[in-house]
């Protein structure tokens, strides 16, 4: 059965200092001592959670995306995290999914954090991104999206039997994704919500969940405790990093996921719904 090795990087970001952050993150990636396939960085990993996109935004041809491409190609990994992007006069909090061959996909954060004024500076995305690697389907989301369960709700797909996979109608392989990733800048003062909701998303969607957060104070003197987590489809915590910079690698097992879904086929009783753009 397929496995997927993921590495979470929980850094102390330097406020609005792209050069320092990219240099430090490259050191951490180069220092990963075990083989890995997917490296996950936090939300706005090059700047911190800044409301100054007019000064910090780049295009998709800018230096930060180029840095991601260089690292992913050199290390032969998938590299993901969100950055501030300008496109057609609008600013986006954009998660980039960079492949080792230099190709990429992206997801624009849908739920902007109005409590901090994010909605006043950034445009919302309207389309989810489910990436595919080694037979794993991966839903990619950003921070505040975590509070809105409908946006991450597992949606059973039409039977894949017609596609020649041999799966019968109602097979667990019809589910939309196997892993959901949240990249974040989530403050310590609301860490209980972060930890609780990550577990809830895993349980309700019968999926692995990875949440990657930063540590340290940002430019507004808001402290982040990290609390990056990897959670299995039953809600069991496989990893929890608290209060310090940390790089952690774990191999996820598809066989375990499939066994849980087959033994507890709660997904068959899910409500069907549509999400408006």
- pLDDT at residue 251 in the model: 98
Known catalytic membership, residue 54: no
Number of domains in the chain: 1
- pLDDT at residue 271 in the model: 85
**Higher pLDDT, residue 110 or 275:** 110
Q: 156 pLDDT band (50/70/90 cuts)?
A: low
Known catalytic membership, residue 37: no
**Higher pLDDT, residue 236 or 267:** 236
pLDDT in tens, 41-100: 999 999 999 999 999 999 999 999 999 999 999 999 999 999 999 999 999 999 999 999
| CATH number, domain with residue 100 | 3.60.110.10
- pLDDT at residue 158 in the model: 57
- pLDDT at residue 172 in the model: 60
Share of the chain above pLDDT 70, in %: 93
- pLDDT at residue 165 in the model: 45
Q: What average pLDDT does the chain have?
A: 93
In a domain, 52, yes or no: yes
pLDDT in tens, 194-243: 999 999 999 999 999 999 999 999 999 999 999 999 999 999 999 999 99
In a domain, 275, yes or no: no
Q: Could you say which of 18, 37, 43, 58 is catalytic?
A: 43
Q: Could you say which of 18, 37, 58, 109 is catalytic?
A: 109
In a domain, 25, yes or no: yes
In a domain, 73, yes or no: yes
Q: 273 pLDDT band (50/70/90 cuts)?
A: confident
In a domain, 276, yes or no: no
pTM of the model: 0.94
In a domain, 108, yes or no: yes
In a domain, 199, yes or no: yes
Q: What residue numbers bound the domain in which 151 lies?
A: 3-269
Burial class (CB in 10 A: 0-12, 13-18, 19+), 254: middle
Q: Could you say which of 18, 143, 176, 195 is catalytic?
A: 143
- pLDDT at residue 160 in the model: 40
pLDDT in tens, 1-13: 599 999 999 999 9
- pLDDT at residue 275 in the model: 79
- pLDDT at residue 1 in the model: 58
Known catalytic membership, residue 109: yes
Q: Which residue has the tokens 């104070």?
A: 217
The stretch 138-148 carries a mean pLDDT of 98
In a domain, 277, yes or no: no
pLDDT at 164 over 50: no
């Amino acid at each position: 059965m397929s496995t997927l090795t993921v590495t979470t990087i929980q850094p102390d970001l330097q406020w609005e200092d792209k050069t320092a952050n990219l240099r430090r993150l490259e050191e951490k990636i180069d220092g990963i001592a075990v083989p890995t396939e997917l490296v996950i960085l936090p939300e706005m990993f090059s700047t911190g959670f800044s409301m100054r996109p007019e000064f910090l935004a780049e295009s998709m041809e800018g230096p930060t995306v180029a840095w991601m491409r260089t690292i992913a190609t050199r290390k032969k990994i998938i590299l993901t995290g969100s950055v501030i992007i300008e496109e057609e006069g609008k600013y986006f909090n954009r998660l980039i999914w960079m492949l080792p061959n230099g190709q990429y996909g992206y997801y624009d954060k849908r739920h902007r954090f109005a409590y901090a004024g994010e909605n006043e500076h950034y445009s919302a995305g309207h389309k989810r991104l489910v990436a595919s690697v080694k037979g794993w389907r991966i839903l990619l989301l950003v921070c505040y999206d975590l509070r809105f369960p409908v946006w991450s709700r597992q949606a059973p797909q039409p039977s894949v039997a017609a596609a020649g996979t041999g799966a019968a109608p109602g097979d667990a392989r019809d589910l939309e994704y196997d892993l959901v990733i949240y990249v974040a800048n989530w403050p310590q003062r609301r860490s209980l919500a972060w930890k609780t909701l990550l577990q809830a998303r895993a349980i309700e969607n019968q999926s692995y969940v990875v949440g990657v957060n930063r540590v340290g104070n940002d430019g507004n003197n808001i402290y982040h405790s990290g609390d990056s987590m990897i959670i299995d489809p039953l809600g069991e915590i496989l990893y929890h990093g608290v209060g310090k910079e940390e790089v952690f690698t774990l191999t996820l097992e598809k066989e375990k996921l499939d066994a849980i879904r087959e033994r507890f086929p709660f997904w068959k009783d899910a409500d069907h719904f549509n999400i408006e753009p």
